[in-house]
Amino acid sequence: MASVLLVCLASYLLGSIPNGLVFGKLLWHVDLREYGSHNIGATNAWRTLGKGPGFLIFLLDFLKGALSVGLAEVFTASPLIMVIAGILAIVGHSCSLFLHFKGGKGVATGLGVIAMLMPVPSLIVFLVWLVIVMITKYVSLGSCIAAALVPVLAYVWGYPTPYVIFGVLAAAFIIIRHKSNIVRLMNGTENKIHAGHRD
């Protein structure tokens, strides 16, 4: 029981680390909350700081999800706890302890989680996201569609029920976090992805 609690706490704390804010200030002397979408995630880092910084923030946020699931696997070997750890990492990223329970939208961290839980579906989800973003230039559209695919692919690939439930919960959470983007997509006012523009 103690190991489970420690893993859950560590997963939330890992998720809570605001990489975009920390490295934006440390390396580029920019507070991402003051530019673009005011979000600390990889998309705003890409838009505000450029492709390299955007990729770095994406990778660091991805690792938060992957490490959380990895910790659960090492210390508990329980698929259910692995799922819970992944959920807590996503929640930590979006409701960070260090940012007064605010944060990013959980896409990169969520991809890190499913990469550990379901490698093949995670690759398909990433490729679908990439194709949509390359064609439309709308990161939010790619993120919502990719998130919705996760529980479908988990079910089709025959993963355990906790993984399918995780897919449903994670997809719902990420789509809800994108509700303002969805409104802008419907109104035709959503921002397209361009690297390195501070506005």
In this structure, is residue 196 part of a structural domain? no
Residues spanned by the domain of 166: 1-187
In this structure, is residue 75 part of a structural domain? yes
Residues, the chain: 199
In this structure, is residue 183 part of a structural domain? yes
Which helix (H) or strand (E) segment is 110 a member of? helix 107-117
In this structure, is residue 2 part of a structural domain? yes
> Does the pLDDT of residue 198 top 90, yes or no?
no
pTM over 0.95: no
Q: List pLDDT tens digits, range 175-196.
A: 999 999 999 999 999 988 876 6
β-bridge mates for residue 96, sequence order: 102
Which pLDDT score is estimated for 196?
62
Bigger pLDDT: 1 vs 181: 181
What percent of the chain clears pLDDT 70, i.e. is strictly above it?
97
In this structure, is residue 86 part of a structural domain? yes
Compute the distance between CA of residue 100 and CA of residue 102 in angstroms, rounded to an integer: 6
> Does the pLDDT of residue 199 top 60, yes or no?
no
In this structure, is residue 85 part of a structural domain? yes
Which helix (H) or strand (E) segment is 164 a member of? helix 161-177
In this structure, is residue 169 part of a structural domain? yes
> Does the pLDDT of residue 197 top 80, yes or no?
no
In this structure, is residue 140 part of a structural domain? yes
Compute the distance between CA of residue 10 and CA of residue 4 in angstroms, rounded to an integer: 10
Which pLDDT score is estimated for 195?
65
Q: What are 84's two structure tokens?
A: 């819970």
> How many domains does the chain divide into?
1
